Structure 1
Amino acid sequence: MKKLLHAYFATPLVYRIIAAFLLGIGAGIGSWLLARPLGTEWLEHATGFLSPFGTVLISMLKMAVIPIIFFSLVTGAASLPLKKFGKLGLAVIVWYFLTSLFASVFGTALAIFLNPAMKNTSSVSESLLAQAGQMKTGGGSGGFGRFINELFMNPFQALAEGRFLPIIVFSILFGLAARAVLENYEKEGKSSPVNLMLDLFDAAQVTSFKIIDWIMEYFPIGVFALTAVNFALYGTELFGPYLRIAGCVIAGVLMMIFVIYPLFILVFTRENPYSVLSKIKEPIITAFLTRSSAATLPISFLAAEDKLHVKNQLSGFALPLGATINMDGVCIHLPVFAVLAANIFGIPLGIGQIFVLVVSVIFASVGAGGIPGGSIFLLFMVLSNMGLSDSQTATVVALAIGINPLMDMFETACNVAGDNVGNYIVAKRMGMIETPR
């Protein structure tokens, strides 16, 4: 037994996670097939038993991510001169906007070229129409309006509810205020008590990362449970009538991760892009398996610090912001269903309609929220801007619900890859890479 445990923990974590994912697919599809002769009651018991082992992994990551964001942003903002932080912040925001614009144009062009279609849309969407209607009434507002409205709120409420936008804003303001106080004390030649607070925050951040090290050892168990439950519930239906749509989204995501991002890295850093991608494989795989940019943040922080050697002053700001507003995968996913809607309902896509689609996708992606399935809510905004009626929109959203668990995995992996690539490129261009010890 000891030899088995030693061999297990001696195996690199990424290989254990991949093995757990593949075993989860096999167990999930096997359970789904067994449910036909044995009945759905057996499947409900099986998934009910396994589900907590998967959801607890996401819960643990979300438990750690809020203090990590807060402490990282405060210490990062306070450690840089105010002028330099302003330049870094502007560079990150501009980069995220440009990559979202590129991804939206690329996703729209790819969708038009591949021209997704589906047979028997009415029968496929019929069973999910009620769920689509509930999403519309309960999903709330998204897009740019939501982004502006959530910038400022009670910071303690934001921390308790895990609202990333107001946490980011308050943490940055708090850190900049601490820096301003420090600079005032330095001008007067005095020692500032703010240093004690920042030392405490720095210690809290390091301690939070130690918790992440422990959580990582649980990853294979959580991944197996998440994957098995996902495929047990949906089985081969995840691939059936949706094959062409899935192909469009997956092709776009893979091209972004393995072609477009490497080109960005090569052009802006003059480095081997696939060496950089190899260093961020853990965040990408984690995003793929958990379907949550927010839950992946702790792993992105570890990769930025240990593998890419990006200074915490930058990654502590860029990565949480990216998990909130930088959604390149969403910018590829949404145009596919928009073009599908145009094909189903005979809507001509001229230059004007394409322009509206691209702009709608960019602003909608800001409201994705970094949570599993967040892009589904955004379809209402995009399809409404295309002129679809409520019933037509509900039909397309119902179709999206049917394939969302699979698409969300690829979409989130692309989102997180974009965050980490952007963080590294800005760091390289702005001299924010630490020399490895």
Structure 2
Amino acid sequence: MGIIKKYTSIPLPYRVGVAFLLGVAFGLVLWYYDMANGSNLGERVATYISPFGAVLVRMLKMVVIPIVFFSLIVGSSGLSPKKLGRVGGKVILWYIFTSFVAAMIGVSIAMFVHPGQGVAVDVEKLGSSMGEGGPSITPPSGLTDLILKMFTNPFEALANGEFLPIIVFALLFGLAARVLLDHTQNETEKKQIQSILDFAAGANSVMFRIVSWILEYFPIGVFSLAVVNFGLYGPSIIGPYLKAVLGVISGIVIMIFIVYSILVSVFLKENPIDFFKRAKEVMITSFFTRSSAATLPVTIKTAIESFKVKKELAEFSLPVGATINMNGVCIHLPMWAVFAADVFNIDLTISSLAIVIITTVLSAIGAGGVPGGSLMLLFIVLGTLGLEPSQIAIIVALALGVNPLIDMFETMNNVTGDLCCTYIVAKKENMLE
């Protein structure tokens, strides 16, 4: 028990990082041994060890729909049009605007670096080791098709594994429930609607607990996936890994220090350096917690005390931002979408890139501020490319090892964006103390 307690006391990113590096080292040893001796030891080891990684991928797939569905119902039902007013509406518009900017930056950098070029993945060999099956998802052929798909029967979407209609339905369900609560005079109806929302909130909390258990399994799954990936493909995969990681981090640096700086300079006529000095505690805390929700108390405190944002705005805008404003995720997800397109030779047209951007922004709303939430959303974005389940599993498996590092940067981006948008609205609407 003492060893387990000591192990769990180590921060999860360190455990995952060490597991990934050990898996890489072990996998490379197997690969070099096979190259030197003409054997297939790597494939034989992968047969036995890959189920541990496949379990992690399947666990993530298991929770992605419930997490997104219940998070969106809870989040959208909290946006009361009656209480929202003009100020609240502006906050939401700023969050959506910056999310689209982030997604466009993510796509632009991904198309510039093409992280998956040169990776030759044997889908049969690696896909079968992931143990994935089921129907493939037919991608929308254009923006018109995308709009039509958004309004599919939600039960049909659940059966077919189509995420986008589920996202749209959850948003509409939550908003409709809130409108009814605000306007109905029937007390019985109010209680019924509130009980549904209470159930969704409770289910959301339960899903977060399940995710926390899955996160504890991460080191084992990541070790397994790293051994399989590097044991089968050797050092040839290191370059694409670095391109993907550095591409995401570069996009986040651009978003934080260039885009937010421009917004502060242009709309507030203030020195961005002063903004970052006041926001540094929030940025540091979010970097190490890897959770927008966990950083929320510090974010609200900083907004009120350092930025002099009125309490009523800070306590509305920042919790909403922690739920729906995922700018870091919007940079992260397109990188792996382009990575997948490179690996599986999918031609990305302007239309398909627009679909990736729109899907990224909509799915990011359901990230819910949970550590590693972007990994679950990766299933949604990759589904728009029409990949087979086994192909999606391969890309997710490749993304898992480096996710804790990327997650730190993207969470810092998310929280900094919450603070920036809130401060802009507060100053424009004379809501500073």
CA distance, structure 2, for counterparts of residue 314 and residue 61 of structure 1? 24
Aligned residue among 330, 350, 359 for 2:334: 330
1:429 to 421, 425, 429: 421
Q: Do the aligned partners of 1:250 and 1:410 also contact (CA within 8 Å) in 2?
A: yes
Q: 1:279 to 1:222 in 2, by over 3 A?
A: farther
The equivalences for 1:113-152 within 5 A come to 140-141=139-140, 144-145=143-144, 147-152=146-151
Percentage of pairs with the same residue: 28
Contact residue 92 and residue 422 of structure 1 kept, 8 A: no
Instruction: Determine the structure 2 residue equivalent to 1:100.
Output: 103
Spell out, residue by residue over 1:371-402, the C-alpha distance to the aligned partner (whole angstroms, 9 max, x if none): 4797799699xxxxxxxxxxxxxxxxxxxxx9
Q: Compute the TM-score of the two structures, normalised by the length of structure 1.
A: 0.63
2:46 corresponds to: 47
Measure, in 2, the Cα distance between the counterparts of 1:251 and 1:225. 24
Matched, 1:256 2:259: no
State the shift of 1:165 in Å: 1.4
Q: Could you report, residue by residue, the CA deviation over 1:177-228 in whole angstroms, capped at 9, with x for unpaired residues? A: 1111111235989954212222222112112211122222111111111111
Distance 1:30 1:281, change over 3 A: farther
Which residue of 2 is the match for residue 231 of structure 1?
230
The code of the aligned residue for 1:58 comes to: V
Whether the aligned pair in 2 keeps the contact of 1:143 and 1:378 (CA below 8 Å) is no
State the distance in 1 between where 2:323 and 2:19 align.
Answer: 30
Query: What per-residue deviation string (whole Å, max 9, x for no partner) do you get for residues 223-255 of structure 1?
Result: 11111111111101225xxx5x77765543332
SS of the residue 2:79 aligns to? coil
The whole-number CA distance in structure 2 between the counterparts of 1:329 and 1:205 is: 23
Match of 1:90? 93
> Map of 1:188-337 to 2, 5 A cutoff?
192-239=191-238, 251-264=246-259, 270-271=275-276, 276=282, 278-281=284-287, 303=294, 313-319=320-326, 326-327=330-331, 330=334, 334=338
| Alignment CA distance shift 1:55-1:144 (3 Å) | farther
Asked if 2 retains the 8 angstrom alpha-carbon contact of 1:71 and 1:201, the reply is yes
How many Å separate the matches in 2 of 1:40 and 1:217?
Answer: 35
Structure 1 unaligned residues grouped into runs of 5+? 132-136, 285-299, 342-355, 381-401
Q: CA RMSD in A?
A: 5.0
Structure 1 CA distance for aligned equivalents of residues 170 and 39 of structure 2: 48
Matched residue of 1:80: which SS? Answer: coil
Distance 1:89 1:410 in 2: 31
1:417 CA displacement = 5.3
User: In the alignment, does 2:25 pair up with 1:21?
Assistant: no
- Is it true that 1:35 corresponds to 2:39 in the alignment? no
The superposition leaves residues 244-288 of structure 1 with CA deviations (integer Å, 9 ceiling, x where unpaired) of x7776554333223454344456659245665555455797xxxx
Task: Give aligned pairs, total.
Answer: 358
**Structure 1 residues 427 and 154, CA gap change in structure 2 (3 angstroms):** farther
Q: 1:40 to 1:103 in 2, by over 3 A?
A: same
Q: Which amino acid aligns with 1:257?
A: I
Any stretches of 5+ residues in structure 2 without a counterpart? Answer: 126-135, 265-271, 301-316, 364-376, 388-393, 427-433
Contact residue 238 and residue 406 of structure 1 kept, 8 A = no
Change in CA separation of 1:129 and 1:188 when aligned onto 2, cut-off 3 Å: closer
Which range moves more in the overlay, 269-278 or 175-184? 269-278
User: Per the alignment, in what secondary structure is the counterpart of residue 66 of structure 1?
Assistant: helix
Does the 8 A contact of 1:330 with 1:415 survive in 2? no
Q: State the SS of the aligned residue for 2:150.
A: coil
User: 1:415–1:224: structure 2 CA closer, same or farther, 3 Å change rule?
Assistant: closer
Cα separation, 2, equivalents of 1:221 and 1:194: 42
Change (3 A) 1:64 1:332: closer
Distance 1:149 1:415 in 2: 33
Give the counterpart letter for 2:21 in structure 1: L
TM-aligned CA distance change 1:359 to 1:178, over 3 Å = closer
Q: Which amino acid aligns with 2:42?
A: L
> Offset at 1:50?
1.3
State the shift of 1:48 in Å: 1.5
CA distance in 2 between counterparts of 1:373 and 1:164 reads: 6
SS in 1 for 2:196: helix
- CA–CA distance in 2 between the matches of 1:7 and 1:330? 37
> Does structure 1 residue 11 correspond to structure 2 residue 3?
no
C-alpha spacing 1:235/1:10, structure 2 compared with 1 (3 Å): same
Q: 1:58 and 1:306 mapped to 2: Cα distance?
A: 32
Q: CA deviation at 1:70?
A: 1.6
Distance across 1 between alignment mates of 2:80 and 2:120: 58
3-state SS in 2 of match to 1:193: helix
State how far apart, in whole Å, the 2-side matches of 1:45 and 1:38 are: 14
Distance (whole Å) between structure 2 residues aligned to residue 172 and residue 408 of structure 1: 28
- Contact kept, 8 Å, 1:29 with 1:231, in 2: the verdict is yes
- Distance change in 2, residues 1:250/1:224 (3 Å): closer
The structural deviation recorded for 1:149 is 3.2
Tell me, in whole angstroms, the C-alpha distance in 2 between the residues paired with 1:264 and 1:40: 52
1:75/1:201 contact within 8 Å kept? yes
2:78 matched to which residue of 1?
79
